[in-house]
Chain A
């Protein structure tokens, strides 16, 4: 079956521009996660959705970052007024809502800020 799909796979933009990253989770996965991974680093948790709700947004790095999810499906991560330090791979994962369910990851969006 289809896995987690992220688009675009690569995004190059100028500093100060806004970007929108998209994640299509596996059908039926009500839990959705966003992570950031800088070059050579581990994954940094950003935000988690259970259904369309994000109970805790404290992982978002700044108020330039926002995320939403609709229809318990597609999620978008928006970065406003991008800065060079936002350059990273942004990974999305989804899972079933039960305890200890493994997360299924997409291959990420590689974001480069010039």
Chain B
């Protein structure tokens, strides 16, 4: 199972772009990269998933370099409501017997 490393915490201000980088040096050829968001007292929520290059949806963008050993979640123009913990996951639960390593995530604090 691929191990991920991401910053424990980050601070930002409303309206700024936030980039959270995750390292996954031992990513396997077939592994996808998935990001989840978790608010206090709620379960995690899927944000975005990608394999290589760039993926964009209505919430975020995901940048993956050619070597795939890291990925960056980009949140454009954050608001106070983006304050949450963000988890980077690598792998595929379906082929790993359900096991995905969530780690401690990155606690993002957005200030006014």
The chain A residues found within 8 Å of chain B, CB to CB, are 4, 31, 33, 35, 41-43, 45, 47-50, 55-56, 59, 91, 93, 95, 97-108
Chain B: interface secondary structure?
loop
- Is B34 a contact of A102 with CB atoms below 8 Å? yes
The chain B residues found within 8 Å of chain A, CB to CB, are 32, 34, 41-46, 49, 87, 92-95, 97-105
- Is A99 a contact of B95 with CB atoms below 8 Å? yes
Cβ contact of B92, chosen from A56, A93, A99, cutoff 8 A: A99
- Is B44 a contact of A43 with CB atoms below 8 Å? yes
**Chain A residues near B41 (CB-CB < 8 A):** 107-108
29 contacts between A and B (CB under 8 A): A4-B43, A31-B98, A35-B102, A42-B87, A42-B104, A43-B44, A43-B87, A45-B98, A45-B99, A48-B97, A48-B98, A49-B98, A50-B98, A56-B98, A59-B99, A91-B43, A95-B93, A98-B94, A99-B95, A100-B49, A100-B94, A101-B93, A102-B49, A103-B44, A103-B46, A105-B43, A105-B45, A107-B41, A107-B42
